[in-house]
Structure 1
């Protein structure tokens, strides 16, 4: 996935915002995709509401995955925690072992229908890229920089907070970016267990054989993924310049 030019990014954001707030304006665009007088715009709920709920699930799951994955990576890169690396890798790989549908199927009997099983699936799927990128960022730092920090009298905690994490930030952000993009796509299946996501639009289209609904849901998720990916890419560049200036 490549970053969009600034004008294309702004245009995509403006079109998405307009569609979510006033979908009726776009009815002529989707009308040719319907048959037998079917509605051209999803009318079983608010597209804006579903999109915000979708983003909320992804944000919450990513925040939890980031907290655990970064903490584990810090632990296993400290001398006292190095022996926990195999166990940590096994833990963060759990989400990649089972397909999302299987995670949902296992979670529903335990926690019921709704947002919770979807959060569990997104959380587990988001761990691996964040953990591996944080691990890479922390283990590939220049030894000279770390030694210089030691030479200034910094404690281990100070070195971690002021030197290691800032320098590793661009790589960590790349892992979070990948986790978010995966989460945006994976969250759509949450609607199969009654979670409020954009997947509701896609499923409604599939059940009613309404291509307009399917396309609307797919486009919302795709545009969000591209814009968020682009945003994290820009944030990573800023972090890279900042960490480079302070190293």
Structure 2
């Protein structure tokens, strides 16, 4: 099986990222010209690998929490008994978009202190909207013939939800999760302003010391992660769409 050029390019980026995180010293000659006054070219105030893993962990926890809450709200408002809560649900999930993450951090720190907790709250709120809207779209645009067939064979509402509606809506829901993850990957960098362990630590250290090498390596790691995760989730989404008999993009 021959791999296409875009796939080979992404595999190359993944391999390069792994090598850089494991052995960043190998790239020192490339980054050294970006430094001044004999400053270090490779971030030396912590492990890039550990910061990357911490960054991904925070994004994963926030996205998981946002997915559970947004999906629960979408299921609630698409049931006859919960339809009246749609305006309220939309208001709740829009909170994260109304208040920028920096403002959420500023409000959260006095209440719960510094660290990763304020960052998790900001990412959770910011990630709700795309997941909720996609889940709502997926659950309200199901093929009526399929839903009626499920009802006709005697499935109750819970069975239809778990065995028919959610599986059919899954590709659309995953698209919302994909968008939320990419947003969170970039937004999580600001968590370092409140002492959270993220790759923003590298970027901030570079800005403070006027070290372009630090800024570049922090930004490139976040960018590479965003591209790779976005493409990976897109591939899963297309696979699910094909399995559900839907047209993949």
Give the shorter-chain TM-score range.
Answer: over 0.9
For 1:40-59, what aligned pairs fall within 5 Å after superposition?
Answer: 40-59=41-60
Distance in 1, matches of 2:120 and 2:112, equals 11
**2:189 equivalent in structure 1:** 188
Gapped regions of structure 2 (runs ≥ 5): none
SS in 2 for 1:244: coil
Which SS does the other structure have where 2:186 is aligned? Answer: helix
The equivalent of 1:71 in structure 2 is 72
Please report the RMSD computed on the Cα atoms of aligned residues, expressed in angstroms. 1.1
- 1:108: Cα distance to partner? 0.2
- Offset of 1:170 from its aligned partner? 0.6
Task: Please give the alpha-carbon distance, in whole angstroms, between the structure 2 residues aligned to 1:88 and 1:102.
Answer: 22
Aligned to 1:111: 112
For structure 1, the 5+ residue unaligned runs are none
Partners in 2 of 1:79 and 1:244 — Cα distance? 27
Decide whether the 8 Å contact of 1:191 with 1:199 is kept in 2.
yes
2:238 corresponds in structure 1 to 237
Is 1:33 aligned to residue 34 of structure 2?
A: yes
Shift of 1:187: 0.2
- Asked if residue 61 in structure 1 is aligned to residue 62 in structure 2, the reply is yes
Q: Tell me the equivalent position of 1:223.
A: 224
SS at match of 1:5: helix
CA contact under 8 A between 1:115 and 1:190: conserved in structure 2?
Answer: yes
Which residue does the alignment assign to 2:129?
128
Paired residues, number: 243
- TM-score, normalising length: structure 2: 0.96
Which structure has more relative contact order (CA 8 Å, sep 6+)? It is 1
Residues in 2 aligned to 1:230 and 1:91: alpha-carbon distance in whole angstroms: 29
| Structure 1 residue aligned with 2:211 | 210
Q: Does 1:14 align with 2:12?
A: no
* TM-score, normalised with respect to structure 1: 0.97
Runs of 4+ in 1 over 3 A off after TM superposition: none
Deviation of 1:182 (Å): 0.2
